[in-house]
């Protein structure tokens, strides 16, 4: 049997220790599948004395994680530190420059610097892999890169953030409002103390940019991802969506438009009850890929956590041990195209629009007049209750299918109106 694949792990949080546990628990089956043993030889973390529940004594402790890239007894560096820049990026560059394999779960770093790292990997004939960076334990990177390789993909979309999905599906289940469910998510460990990246959609945008590059053979363009989070979604929106036959989910969508431009967006959407994504609840991720020959493919599973993410990390290590890592973004980095960003105004679809307005005569007339003048056709309009104290009420509407720029124009006509008590919320209705 071939010599062992020797790895160094930077970062011993839940995922790093999960990798060590997995390698120990499944040692024999991994060796058979990889064709060689996978052995940890060195580790690094900020606190050496911390009890992590795993035996670190067989491994060399490295105080400066950058030194891992220079060790002669290391074949692959596994980075589980996080952060788009700083020490993680420095380690990635050093490892690939040294011809070491590099495996990471760091979606922010891949979204911002993936092209540079793929170029370094190609120059130095070093494997670069990041299955764990997108959707935890779901093999969606491999699924897109290999499973759909025979297809021209038209659309990739899905639920890419477990924190938001937990909050929205629990709002749906309990009737609670956003702030209450965010606190519950933090208490249960599904949301960070500072949840901004999750609830504003940035985490999902990182993942979408990576999937789009793989699925469409283009260079990553994170800056082109248009992003909106879930902080405006209320219990009333959830209830109204339910009455209309939908659930609310934060959905990342990448589509190659007919003019060859790539549209990438993260937004809360209304999802029809019958759509596969409607059944995805809790801290779960799901990705849909639509191919011209395969049709619709659904990848679903745990999007985070020590065990699923460790599983994805070790799957990359098995590929490297076999010599089957392949091109990180499905084609060699020098063959990746550069797609122009799509124009969201040209998207045709139906929308849910919710207004928070003053409860007085003439408000509906002003809203409907703006819609008429902008060319927006209204399918239905609902006012929930009446505030007899003269406070704000919510008015919701569903539009007929039309170009998005018309909705944008209508909202521009209403901007600054004394009748609007808050910024309107627009949620696209996901097509079946």
- Tell me if 367 sits within 8 A of 414, measured CB to CB: yes
Tokens read off for 143: 């699924």
In angstroms, the CA 43 to CA 17 distance is 10
Identify whether 107 is a catalytic site residue: no
- 3-state secondary structure string, 54-99? CCCCCCEECCCHHHHHHCCCCCEEEECCCCCCHHHHHHHHHHHHCC
In angstroms, the CA 23 to CA 4 distance is 13
Separation of CA 109 from chain center: 13
Catalytic pick from 50, 107, 207, 431? 207
Query: Of 305, 233, 221, 318, nearest to 268 (Cα)?
Result: 233
- Which residues contact residue 189 at a Cβ distance below 8 angstroms, ignoring those fewer than 6 apart? none
The count of other CB atoms within 10 Å of the CB of residue 371 is 23
Alpha-carbon Rg for the chain, nearest whole angstrom, is 24
In angstroms, the CA 276 to CA 207 distance is 20
- Tell me if 140 sits within 8 A of 299, measured CB to CB: yes
Residues acting as catalytic residues: 207
């Amino acid at each position: 049997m071939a010599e062992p694949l020797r790895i160094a792990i930077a970062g011993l949080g839940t995922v790093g220790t999960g990798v060590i546990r997995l390698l120990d628990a499944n040692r024999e089956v991994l060796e058979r599948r990889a064709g060689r043993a996978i052995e940890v030889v060195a580790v690094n973390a900020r606190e050496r004395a911390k009890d992590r529940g795993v035996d670190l004594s067989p491994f060399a402790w490295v105080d400066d994680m950058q030194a891992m890239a220079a060790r002669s007894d290391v074949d692959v560096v596994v980075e589980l530190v996080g952060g788009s820049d700083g020490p993680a990026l420095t380690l990635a560059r050093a490892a690939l420059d040294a011809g070491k394999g590099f495996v990471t779960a760091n979606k922010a770093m891949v979204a911002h610097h993936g092209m540079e790292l793929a170029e370094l990997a190609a120059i130095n004939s070093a494997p670069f892999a990041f299955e764990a960076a997108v959707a935890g334990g779901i093999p969606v990177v491999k699924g897109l890169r290999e499973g759909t390789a025979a297809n021209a993909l038209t659309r990739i979309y899905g639920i890419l953030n477990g924190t938001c999905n937990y909050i929205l599906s629990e709002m749906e289940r309990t009737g609670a409002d956003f702030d209450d469910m965010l606190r519950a998510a933090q208490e249960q460990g599904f949301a960070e103390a500072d949840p901004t990246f999750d609830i504003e959609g940035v985490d999902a945008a990182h993942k979408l940019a990576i999937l789009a590059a793989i699925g469409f053979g283009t260079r990553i363009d994170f800056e082109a991802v248009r992003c909106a989070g879930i902080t405006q979604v209320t219990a009333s929106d959830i209830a109204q969506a339910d009455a209309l036959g939908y659930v609310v989910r934060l959905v990342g969508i990448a589509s190659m438009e007919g003019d060859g431009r790539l549209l990438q967006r993260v937004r809360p959407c209304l999802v029809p009850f019958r759509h596969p994504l409607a059944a995805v609840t809790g801290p779960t991720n799901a990705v849909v890929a639509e191919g011209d020959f395969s049709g619709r493919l659904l990848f679903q599973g745990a999007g985070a956590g020590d065990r699923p993410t460790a599983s994805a990390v070790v799957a990359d290590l098995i590929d490297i041990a076999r010599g089957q890592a392949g091109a990180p973004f499905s084609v060699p980095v020098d063959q990746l195209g550069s797609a122009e960003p799509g124009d969201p105004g040209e998207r045709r679809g139906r929308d849910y629009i919710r207004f928070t307005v003053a409860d007085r005569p003439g408000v509906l007339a002003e809203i409907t007049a703006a819609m008429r003048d902008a060319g927006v056709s209204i399918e239905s309009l609902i006012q929930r209750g009446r505030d007899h104290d003269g406070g704000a009420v919510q008015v919701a509407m569903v539009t007929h299918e039309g170009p998005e720029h018309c909705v944008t124009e209508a909202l521009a006509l209403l901007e600054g109106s004394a009748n609007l008590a808050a910024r309107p919320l627009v949620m696209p209705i996901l097509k079946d």
